[in-house]
Amino acid sequence: MSQKNHESHSHLFLPIRPERVSEKVAGQLKKVISDGVFRVGDRLPSERELAERMGVSRPSVREALQQLEMQGILETVRGGGSIVKNLTEQQIRSPMEVFLGDDPQMVLEVTEVRAFMETWAAKQAALHRTEDELKRIQALLEEMERDLEKGRIRYEIDFKFHSEIAAATHNTFFVHLIDNLHQLVSYSIKVHREQVFTARQDQETIFRHHLRVFKAIKDRNSAEAEAAMGDHLRFVVEEFKRWAQAR
């Protein structure tokens, strides 16, 4: 007898698999992350809130979060919440950190790559930015100004400024990538226990650069945005070179 009859034609009719609620929840969460609604480092809503807003039970949400954590997309900490991880980290950062350790040449190379990537970002941001994104960029600029009056612009604010511009490109992959490059450089700076731009003069220059970039993005002038960011980062790269030689 044909014993594998029930096997041979089974794949013709039943390729379907009932999708669990937790998988649907995981799918929705993946979508909003890939759409850039939640970016690297963002905390997504609490389990209870997600459960309520999606109309499912908390265990289902928990299982979904667990799936995403197992895929390396999230990290959840007890009492803290669930944080979106950098999707390119495993791909780029971990293999790179080995080389980066204390090689200023490598830091310079990363900075060079960052430079032209952010130039592209500024151009794209000028083309695609929304009013909401513009407001966030402006808010960071104002915070930067307050920092400047106190004497020193915090690196986190500078980082957020560039990160916000990256977000305005509406290319989620790029956002994760640029975040990774930022982290690589900042990590290196910490290792060397150095700060590059300490002079008051440098601080003011950097602020002026940022202001120029912001205005261009505000006016949707992509060429000017590209030029402004290009000038800014050429300055940064030059300072970096001087710093690398000085040590």
Partner DNA sequence: CGGGAAGAATTGGTCTTACCATAATGAAGT
Partner DNA sequence: ACTTCATTATGGTAAGACCAATTCTTCCCG
List residues near a second copy by CB under 8 A: 18, 22, 30, 34, 59, 62-63, 66-67, 70-73, 78, 85, 87-96, 98-99, 103, 105-106, 109-110, 112-113, 116-117, 120, 171-174, 176-177, 180, 184
CB of 25 vs DNA, minimal distance in Å: 8
From a second copy, DNA, none, interface partner of 109 (C-beta below 5 to 8 A by class): a second copy
Q: Which stretch binds DNA (CB under 7 A): 31-39, 79-87, 107-115, 184-192?
A: 79-87
Per-residue tokens: 92: 């780029």
15 binds, among DNA, a second copy, none (CB under 5 to 8 A by kind): none
Q: How far apart are CA 162 and CA 180, in angstroms?
A: 12
Is residue 12 near DNA by the rule CB under 7 A?
no
9 binds, among a second copy, DNA, none (CB under 5 to 8 A by kind): none
Given DNA, a second copy, none, residue 189, with its beta carbon under 5 to 8 Å by kind, binds none
| 85 or 129: CB nearest a second copy | 85
Provide, rounded to whole angstroms, the least separation between the CB of residue 74 and DNA: 10
Task: Say how far residue 157 (Cα) sits from the centre of its chain.
Answer: 14
Under the criterion CB under 7 A, does residue 57 sit at the interface with DNA?
A: yes
Phi, psi of 74 (to 5 degrees): -120, 165
**234 near DNA, rule: CB under 7 A:** no
Shortest Å distance, C-beta 49 to a second copy: 20
Q: How many CB atoms lie within 10 A of CB 98?
A: 7
Cβ-based nearer residue to a second copy, 34 or 205: 34
Q: What is the largest CA-CA distance in the chain?
A: 89
Instruction: Choose from DNA, a second copy, none: what does 81 bind? Cβ within 5-8 Å by kind.
Output: DNA
